Amino acid sequence: MFSWFRRLIRRIRIFVGIFGVEIEFHPPEPTHIQAKENQMGTTAELDGDATIQNDKGSYVIWVKPPLTANPRFVHFSWGGPVDPHSFKVRDYISGKLQQHHGATPQPETGFQISECSMSRDEVWSSALERIPARGELYHNVQHFTWWKKKLKEMTRKKLLSVGTTRKITAAQAILQAMRSLDGECSISQVEHWISDHIGEYWKDISTSMADLTYPGNNSSPYKPEERFLESVHSGVGVYRLRNDWKRT
């Protein structure tokens, strides 16, 4: 709250020339709560604390298997009036919500609910990055679509920033997914399969699937003979592998 004041006005001096008096003003020191919030907002994403210090919290954390199928960002919240050790790990990308041991399942739109094999502190200590859910991330956890889009984009940027490279193309990933899903499925099923088995490397799988559809449109970057999908229900987003396409 006072950081801007401290940066711009370290000391305010008023000289009263007539009396030769120097009056020196200092910005007020932040309260204990303000200092704690400032510290959490700037260092929590990189700190090495193995245990949680607060009774309640909300973070976006970077995790890897076994908590998730592939490295990704998830939403982690804990605490409340009843039990500060209660928690939820919301993996919006795969649509899986993990709760603490013994928790009563509380259905949430978009999620399959299960019991987490880890404790609250184990989840916290396993996180490779911790970002306080503030600013843009201070968002209603029930808004599944918003969170899924946000965390997918954050995950994609993270993977690219750490130098993780794609070993296959989007088309190859879609083909693997289609073959594993019996040759006919929706866009969301393909996205979930790729997320769980390959990772969040591609920004828009739905566009790639449309481009891989035969006969498709002229704007597709793929040649007609390279398009291995056909639309099952127009406008619904369900595709299947072409029977007459040469499988390699």
**pLDDT tens column, 175-222:** 988 988 888 999 989 988 888 777 777 778 989 999 999 888 888 999
The string of DSSP codes covering the chain is --HHHHHH-S-EEEEETTTTEEEEE-PPPPPHHHHHHHHHHHHTTT---SS--SSSEEEEEEE-TTSSSSSEEEEEEE--SS-TT-EEEEETTTTEEEE-TTPPP---TT-EEEE-SS-HHHHHHH-SEEEES-GGG---TT-HHHHHHHHHHHHHHHHHHTT---SS-HHHHHHHHHHHTTTEEEHHHHHHHHHHHT-S--S-HHHHHHHTBSS--TT-SS-GGG--EEEEETTTTEEEE-TTS---
- What pLDDT was estimated at residue 11? 40
How wide is the angle at C-alpha 43 spanned by C-alphas 130 and 148, nearest 5°? 30
Q: What is the mean pLDDT of residues 29-53?
A: 45
Q: What is the mean pLDDT of residues 129-152?
A: 94
Residue 41 has pLDDT above 60, yes or no: no
Percentage, residues of the chain above pLDDT 90: 38
Q: What is the mean pLDDT of residues 23-27?
A: 37
- What pLDDT was estimated at residue 36? 36
Spell out the domain ranges in the chain: 3-30, 44-161, 170-241
Residue where the block lists tokens 């990308």: 93
Residue 61 has pLDDT above 90, yes or no: yes
pTM > 0.85: yes or no: no
Residue 156 has pLDDT above 80, yes or no: yes
Higher pLDDT, 144 or 7: 144
- What pLDDT was estimated at residue 119? 93
